[in-house]
Amino acid sequence: MLWAAVAALATLLAVTAQTPAEADQNQARGVDWSGQGSDRVRGDEDQGGSQQAWHADKRITRGREAYRGQFPHQAGVCFGRLNCCGGSLISQQWVLTAAHCLTGKTKDKVTVKLGTNRLDVKEDGRMQIKASQIISHESFRPNDKYIHHDIGLVKLQRPVKYNKLIQPVRLPTTEEARDKHHGLWGKISGWGATRTDGYQNPKLKWARLPVSQPGKCRFLDGPSAHTQFCTDVYDYKGKGTQGHGTCSGDSGSPYIADHRLKNTPVQLGVLSYGGLTCGETAPSVYTHVGSYLPWIKHHTGIDSG
């Protein structure tokens, strides 16, 4: 990962109604998009009857532990046993992640873990597949003043077979790509550390966060700021000032929401970076997936509509 190169600047951190033919094709491949990552999944009751969220940085702090199969699209893009970025499975052979996670890496050093909530345990049903190709966005410059185009792809050496633990996430449609998602609530999941000074957490955790309103995120600046969005920071009342969110090791993880246009789960963002501390006051910054649909299609052939 690229934390050393970027630490001075920041602590790095689709959906459409299916036609009958598409539904039949997805069913034949074993794809099940019903409720994954949405606000309707088990274990997502709001505490205290109100919408509450977790602050995002590099890792998920004070997040909830995910149950097995809650995020079947979740991928660990790993460079060692407990040295992983997050990612999302977008087809049988492609994983979406952050470009900074792949900087300085070669494909033979990258392994993708799927179908698991634990990085440190060989759970039944877990798949571990080497990369056959890694691609960072051609315009990504990790040492630039502004960190933009932080999006990357990993191609698996072999296609995966979908099951209840391994499913692709949907990408936004062209119509949804034009929406900046302000005020929308979604989920971020990952294996990041749980404290600013902590090690990477081997257990998958998740947090619920709202997309910031225009002008509220001080990190969005530069010529390509329109290709990014932020999530807000919220604190639990009466439980101190530290917020809930993401931290080291969560970079590259997917931000999933029920989009207001279709009310079905879609990946809106790829976690890129945030503030210099975890779980405090700085928002998280995400690469806006909808801005890169042509780039994704060019490299993978995936057309989200």
The residues carrying an active-site annotation are: 100, 150, 251
CA angle centred on 303, ends 142 and 72, rounded to 5°:
75
Closest by Cα among 153, 190, 188 to 301: 153
Separation between Cα atoms, residue 267 and residue 203, nearest integer Å = 21
- Structure tokens belonging to residue 134: 């890694």
Cβ pair 55, 281 in contact under 8 A: yes
Q: What is the DSSP-derived secondary structure letter of residue 255?
A: E
Sheet holding 64-65, edge to edge: 64-65, 205-210, 185-190, 254-258, 265-273, 284-288, 228-231
- Structure tokens belonging to residue 146: 């502004």
